[in-house]
A = this chain, B = another copy of it.
C-alpha cells in the first residue's frame, strides 16, 4: 500500500508559524486564531488591504524551514514505514518558489531525518502520482488525471470541516488506514 502525505498543515504546522509571525509583526492588526480559520488559503481570511502583508510573511526566508512538526506526525510516518507501507511526502511548492522549495527539503531533513529526503515529491499536480491514498488538508484536489489513482483522505483542520470525506488526524490514523476494509 502506497500513501502520499501532504506537508503544510499535515506534517508541518503552517498555520501556527504564520500566526506567530503575524502577531509578532503586526500586534495591533486584525487576526484569525487557527481554531477560527474557515478558508484553506490563509490570505483568503484577511481583508484586501492586509493581503500583501500576509504574502510578505509566507514568502520570506525561513518561513517554511521554521514550522514545527504537527504533533504525532513523525511518529505516524515512522510507524507506517515500519509496518511496510510505502510512504511519500507529496507537496506543492508556492508559485513564488524561492525559499519555499529548498526550505521544504531542509525541513524534511531536519525534522524527519535524512532518509526521508528521498521520499519527497514536489509537484503542482498531485493527481499525476500513483498511490492508494493521499492524506491532505486541501478540501478539493484536482489535476490532469481524472479520477486520480488515490483516494483522498482529508487531514482534519479547522478550515476544512465538512461531512463529505473520510477525515484523519495523527491520533486516529491507524483506525482509518489500517481498518480491515483498507488492507
Interface residues of chain A, those whose CB is within 8 Å of chain B, are: 2, 86, 88, 93, 95, 97-98, 101-102, 105, 117-125, 128-131, 144-145, 149
Contact = CB atoms under 8 A, between A and B. Distances in A.
Contacts of A119: 124
A38 B118 CA distance: 27
A101 B144 CA distance: 24
A105 to B, nearest CB: 5
A145 B125 CA distance: 19
B130 A121 contact: no
A102 to B, nearest CB: 4
Chain copies in the assembled complex: 2
Given A101-B101, A101-B102, A101-B105, A128 B117 contact: no
Contacts of A88: 125, 128
17 contacts: A2-B128, A95-B117, A95-B118, A97-B117, A98-B102, A101-B101, A101-B102, A101-B105, A118-B124, A121-B121, A121-B122, A121-B123, A121-B125, A122-B123, A123-B123, A129-B129, A129-B130
A2 B144 contact: yes
A150 to B, nearest CB: 11
Nearest to A104: B101
Contacts of A101: 101-102, 105
A130 B101 CA distance: 23
Task: Determine which residue in A105, A119, A131, A149 has the highest number of CB atoms from chain B within 10 A of its CB, and name it.
Answer: A105
